[in-house]
Amino acid sequence: MMLPLLDKTRPLARQIYTGIRERILSGSLPPGMRMTSTRDMARQWGVSRTIVINAFEQLSAEGFVEARRGSGSYVAAGASWGGAAQRSRKGRSDAVDLAPPPTPPRGCGAFRTDRVDFRSGLPDLTRFPVATWQKLSRQVWSVLTPMDLSYGQPEGNRELREQICRLVGTKRGVRCHPDQVLVTAGTTQAVGIVTRLLIAPDRSSCILEDPITNDIVRIVENAGGTIEPVPVDDQGIRTDALPRGARPAMIYITPSHQFPTGATLPIQRRVSILQYARSHATYVVEDDYDSEFRFDAPPISSLQGLEPSCVIYIGTFSKTLFPSLRIGFVILPPALVARGRELKWFSDLHNSSPDQLVLARFIADGHFARYVHLMGKVYARRRAALVGALDRAFGSGVRVLGSPAGIHLCARFAGVRFTRSVVEAIDRAGVVVYPAEAHAIRKGRFTDTLLFGYGMLDIPRIEEGIVLLGRAFARLNAR
């Protein structure tokens, strides 16, 4: 038998195993052939017999060779590819020819620091109280029981659900019981579960605000939903434009702070939309992604609090704490709780238990409220600085949309079209800007609008960015 060459730097038994295995699979050691004894092999290779025996034990355990009592080992039948099939066995594992990964929506990807990057959707990640989080994590791990390490419940940890329930009850006027809370891996998973709860083959139409975050559109389509866009104006979704005679599976809205326009839905439209939902026997999905930050008044009350039985409320800790924690939640009407838990179970069983316990303690000990309060003041000043800078640079040429809230704003620039080449010219001037038109389902209404995130930028950087933007505009106009 020809011996494979041994490389002294790698485990010898593994090499002998692999060498013999390849020869059996390829058929060069044919079925029924008697193997050289382990003693002889060890001598031929110049290795200890134990090494050869280890290799043989593996070959035998996997069925490549059979020991016959008293007469040694034989190549087993059926352990080779047998002829032509071998060709395709090699190859694609080393040279990986990857298609480009899918375009990641909602604030993913690198935040550029070589530019003033007005990316939206990111809170200030430099201020997160890491030391506090670490301290709570230590506390949680020190009292963790073995059962906390075991499989948990799909709806999430009881302590966390109680904290969430209290939080949204106090701050958002949400009316719920902890058993209605489903802890999710962020808003994305919450939307995925809600779409699968509500969309049926014979009821797939989903009413969405237009413009809207791109990833919501993609998740809805991915779940088999058909998109029914309803335009947004300065007050949010235009309830007079809701489709009549339809049987929508759901109405997905961001009433506290419309994304991206920043509009707050007034009570009149809230009443309309709830009446619409009731008369069409459908659910309103309230995505309350950044409502914790409101600068001119207390946070707007939730839609859910007006009509808990037909509103599904979605919240997230991505904008208040940090996105890579991947914790959000959904408040389900009682009728949907059992199926919601089942869908969560099928998605990933449940969220990481230690993470949930640390978060529950972060809220219970008051750190969440303090941090949100602090960041609200920070974001209020940044927004004011951004509005002031826009005013100084563009005067009556700019109009800021929406309510003073959240971590982004939209602004219309009179007579400008933010085409790709304009955005690239602005990029070359040192500023990354984001056209709101990218979020429009029906194109054409927001070509003059930019979306500015200010969560990750301090005031000097915001002001620098707008000065650079002004210069880029001047240069574009001079052409």
d(CA 327, CA 363): 13
Task: Supply the minimum distance, in Å, between the C-beta of residue 278 and its own copies.
Answer: 6
Between 68 and 479, name the residue whose CB sits nearer to its own copies. 68
What tokens were used for 472? Answer: 């880029």
> Of 35 and 79, which has the nearer Cβ to its own copies?
79
Minimum CB distance to its own copies, residue 220 (Å)? 10
Taking the C-alpha atoms of residue 305 and residue 327, their distance in angstroms, rounded to an integer, is 22
Choice between 103 and 419, CB closer to its own copies: 103
Shortest distance in whole angstroms from residue 97 CB to its own copies: 6
Specify the length of the chain in residues: 479
Smallest gap from Cβ 408 to its own copies, in A, equals 15
| Least gap, CB of 256 to its own copies (angstroms) | 10
Instruction: Output the smallest distance, CB 332 to its own copies, in A.
Output: 10
- Given a contact cutoff of 8 angstroms between Cβ atoms, the answer to whether 331 and 304 are in contact is yes
User: Which of residues 94 and 442 has its CB atom nearest to its own copies in the complex?
Assistant: 94
302 touches 168 (CB < 8 A): yes
Beta bridge partners of 228: 207
Of the pair 15, 449, the CB lying nearest its own copies is at 15
Question: From CA 98, how far away is CA 280, in angstroms rounded?
Answer: 46
Q: How far apart are CA 225 and CA 195, in angstroms?
A: 8
Tokens, residue 210: 């237009």
Residues 6+ apart with CB under 8 A from 440: 210, 211, 446
Q: Distances from the Cα of 16 to the Cαs of 8, 10, 71, 74, 380, in angstroms?
A: 12, 11, 21, 16, 68
Indicate if the alpha-carbon torsion angle 316, 172, 134, 354 is positive or negative: negative
Q: Which is nearer to its own copies, 8 or 240 (CB)?
A: 240
CB of 463 to its own copies, least distance (A): 21
Assign 3-state DSSP to the chain and report helix, strand, coil percentages, each to 5.
Answer: 45, 15, 40
Residue found by looking up tokens 């999710």 in the block: 184
Smallest gap, in angstroms, from Cβ of residue 141 to its own copies? 5
Residues with Cβ < 8 Å from 401, sequence gap 6 or more?
234, 261, 262, 263, 409, 410, 411, 412, 449
**Residue 80 or 163 having the CB closest to its own copies:** 80
Parallel, antiparallel, or unpaired: how do β-strands 311-316 and 328-331 relate?
antiparallel
Write down the least CB distance from residue 165 to its own copies, Å.
11
Q: Show the DSSP H helices in 102-222 as ranges.
A: 130-143, 146-149, 158-172, 186-198, 214-222
CB of 389 to its own copies, least distance (A): 23
CB of 82 to its own copies, least distance (A): 8
Nearer to its own copies, 355 or 427 (CB): 355
Angle at 168 between CA 163 and CA 170, to 5 degrees: 95
Which lies closer to its own copies via its Cβ, residue 178 or residue 397? 178
Beta carbon nearer to its own copies, 165 or 385: 165
Q: Which is nearer to its own copies, 124 or 391 (CB)?
A: 124
Rounded distance between C-alpha atoms, residue 159 and residue 74, angstroms: 61
254 touches 313 (CB < 8 A): no
